[in-house]
Each structure stands twice: as C-alpha cells, then as structure tokens.
Structure 1
Amino acid sequence: MTGQAGLSTHVLDTARGCPAAGVEVELVQVEGQQRSVLKTAVTNSDGRTDAPLIERGMLEQGTYELTFHVADYFSTFESAAQPPFLDIVTLRFTVSDTRAHYHIPLLVSPWSYSTYRGS
C-alpha cells in the first residue's frame, strides 16, 4: 500500500493493567544535531492520542524521537517513589519503509518500560 504509512502510539500502564490516560507525548524529528518538534499530544482514556502523530501518507524516512512524560502520571501511584523513579522516557527510532505504518507503544510501570514496533 504505497503512501499509507503513518505513525501512532499508545501508552499502557503494566502495573495497573490499564491504558495510561493523560500522558504528554512529544514527537521530534532528528536530523544531525537539529531537532524539530512535529507534534505534542496527550493520551486519552484509551491511552492513545486522539489522532495519529503523523497521518497516513505523510511519514518520511528519517530518525524520530517519541518522548513520554510519565512522572506526572505516576506521581499519583501510591506505592511509587516520590518523586517518581521514571520522569521522561525517550524512544529514538528510524523510519526506513515509508510504505509501512509504524505503531510505537510504550508499556510502562513506575519502575520500568519496554516498547516494540507494531503495525
């Protein structure tokens, strides 16, 4: 499907077993030493942004960073350290196939995180 690539994300709270609502997400395109903020969004009740971070058909090859501001989310977690152990989680990744959709979820707890490339 040529031209159908896009970028989406969601955040899952693995400690509570639910989507993480209210997490600020920032998308940056990285070119050498230059960093350009492309979009800032907040996750909804399903842990997703209301719209894709990059609409289908608009994704370009290059290096990107997704930054998740998780400290505010976990500051209300009773058993988490205060201040929270994790503050900002940044994932740097490269888009090479502009024909494929990239879905980058963050699975996070107050003490750890993981990610993968979905579709």
Structure 2
Amino acid sequence: MSTVSTHVLDAVRGVPAAGVAVTLFDSRTTELVTATTDADGRVAALGAGLVPGVYRLRFDTGAYFAAQRTPAFYPEVTIAFTVADDRHHHVPLLLSPFAYSTYRGS
C-alpha cells in the first residue's frame, strides 16, 4: 500500500509555508485526513495504506495568505494525482499569492 506526503514552500517570501491546512480526498471525494504543515512546511505522513486510484490534496491557501495579511487570488489549491503502484508519493507545492506550481517529488 502507498503513502503520501507534501511540502509547501512560500516562493515569494523564500520560506517554508507553515500552518497550511492540507486535506487528502479519495476519488469519490471522501475526506480521508486533514493535517497542517509544520514549521518546515511539511506533512510527512498525510496518507498511508493508499490503494491504486486518483487522489486529491486540497491546500487552504486563502487562510495561509490571510494570516500573512497578503491579498491572494486562489483561496485553495487542489492537486489531483494518481497512485498506480506501491510506493511513497511526495507532492510538493510552490506557492505565491497569484500563482502556484507542483511536480512529482521523490
């Protein structure tokens, strides 16, 4: 069974994005778990025992930027990804108030 973790970086401030709520959903949009990024912007063990399928991570970016008193365009970021094999999946998010990017991490 697979596992998933994430790491959020505030690309404008050049620091980890601490305190971002992250929710993992399965393909049926059932909420599996919610966690908050630590001081290093990480959630090391967000999901475990994942079977093959499509999953979604939803990041509460609006609350993060509101806490920074920074206007932002995206109130949330949702990243869909596929678990196809039994391994660890790392889904990083590079964040700014008006843009974001992601990639398949290691």
Same fold per TM (> 0.5)?
yes
Unmatched segments (≥5 aa) in structure 1: none
Match of 1:47 among 41, 63, 71: 41
- Structure 2: how far apart are the matches of 1:112 and 1:101? 27
Deviation by residue 1:85-111 (Cα, 9 ceiling, x = unmatched): 11010001111112x210001100111
Higher share in strand: 2
Greater than 6 Å deviation, 4+ residue runs: none
Is 1:72 matched with 2:63? yes
Deviation by residue 1:25-82 (Cα, 9 ceiling, x = unmatched): 000001xxx3211100011111012x40123xx221001000000111112445x43x
Unmatched segments (≥5 aa) in structure 2: none
Match of 2:31 among 25, 31, 37: 37
Residue 76 of structure 2 aligns with an amino acid whose one-letter code is I
- Normalising by structure 1, we get a TM-score of 0.82
SS in 2 for 1:75: helix
Larger Rg: 1
How many residues were matched structurally? 106
Q: Percent identity?
A: 49
Please provide the CA RMSD for this pair: 1.5
Contact 2:24 2:47 in 1 (8 A): no
- Structure 2: how far apart are the matches of 1:21 and 1:107? 13
- Normalising by structure 2, we get a TM-score of 0.91
